Amino acid sequence: MKLQAIDASVTLKDHVYQRLREAIIDLNIYQDDTVLRLDERSLAAQLNISRTPLREALTRLQEEGFVEIRPRKGIFVCRKTREEVLEMIVAWAALESMAARLATRVASDARVAGLRRHALAHSSSSSRADLSEYSDANIRFHQMILEMSGCALLAKMADGLFAHMYAVRRRALEEGDRASRSVVDHMGIIDAIEARNADLAADLVREHTMRLHDHVAAVWQRWDTAAGAAP
């Protein structure tokens, strides 16, 4: 008889953490009049657990910048300011640029071919109305580069940033003809990696991501007034 091993390392607090994380990411907090207040007791009741594991999950979420816990005031989902978003994009550009550089050295030809295949398969959707699909494919493209670096930490750190930017990215891509420009950029990046040109690949990735940075900087001035220390 063969039995599958049971993973006893998944605890309630881990489940709760993941659930809350997904829920918060799905919120699309920006511009909505969503209630950003979380109540420990009612959350615990909803999830049918006690406050203890819930609080440990919330601690993790605070650590990652998804929520802010103000003692005896409340727990609030964080609304990133424009400056914070811009800084996240800068950090992302830094990480992915390095990833592209490494990829030119360590990525197999097969992986590069796979990247090109992915980019080609989804390039058409940029011209269609289905920008949401293109947005997902676009994120995947960047994740693939990060994975091709062979450096798991780069990918992990970038993923942490991505999580905060799902809402942002959708909106950013929907404006102007950024999508088609994006396709051109992607092809250039793939060519550089394929040619094993480390400096060029790193430069192109950085410039590509920093274009999003400049775009966000130019388009969204309203944000910096939205959040901050409430009285």
Partner DNA sequence: CTCTGCTATCTGGTATACCATAAGCCACAG
Partner DNA sequence: CTGTGGCTTATGGTATACCAGATAGCAGAG
**Helix, strand or coil for residue 70?**
strand
Nearer to a second copy, 122 or 169 (CB): 169
User: At closest approach, how far in Å is the CB of 97 from a second copy?
Assistant: 7
Number of residues in contact with DNA, rule: CB under 7 A? 22
By CB under 8 A, what part of segment 58-97 binds a second copy? 59-60, 63-64, 70-72, 84, 87-88, 90-91, 93-95, 97
Binding to DNA (CB under 7 A): which residues in 66-95?
Answer: 69-75
Residues 6+ positions from 8 with CB-CB distance below 8 Å: none
Pick the closest to residue 38 from 49, 23, 48 (CA basis): 23
Cβ nearer to a second copy, comparing 13 with 122: 13
Binding mask 44-63 for DNA (x = CB under 7 A): -----xxxxx-xx-------
Output phi, psi for 76, to 5 deg.
-125, 140
Toward DNA, which CB reaches closer, 50 or 180?
50
Select the binding partner of residue 157 from a second copy, DNA, none (C-beta < 5 to 8 A, by kind): a second copy
Q: Measuring CA to CA, which residue among 30, 60, 18 is closest to residue 166?
A: 30
Window 1-20: contact mask with a second copy (x via CB under 8 A): -------xx-x-x-------
Residues 6+ apart with CB under 8 A from 201: 100, 101, 103, 104, 189, 192, 193
For residue 76, give the H/E element and its range: strand 74-77
Q: Choose the one of DNA, a second copy, none that binds residue 63, judging by a C-beta under 5 to 8 angstroms depending on kind.
A: a second copy
Sheet holding 67-70, edge to edge: 37-38, 74-77, 67-70
Residue 50 sits at the vertex; the CA angle it makes with 40 and 9, to the nearest 5 degrees, is 115
Nearer to DNA, 74 or 176 (CB): 74
- Which tokens is 3 given? 């039995």
Contacted entry of a second copy, DNA, none for residue 38, CB cut-off 5 to 8 Å set by kind? DNA
State yes or no: residue 56 binds a second copy (CB under 8 A): yes
Binding site for DNA (CB under 7 A): 8, 11-13, 38-41, 49-53, 55-56, 69-75
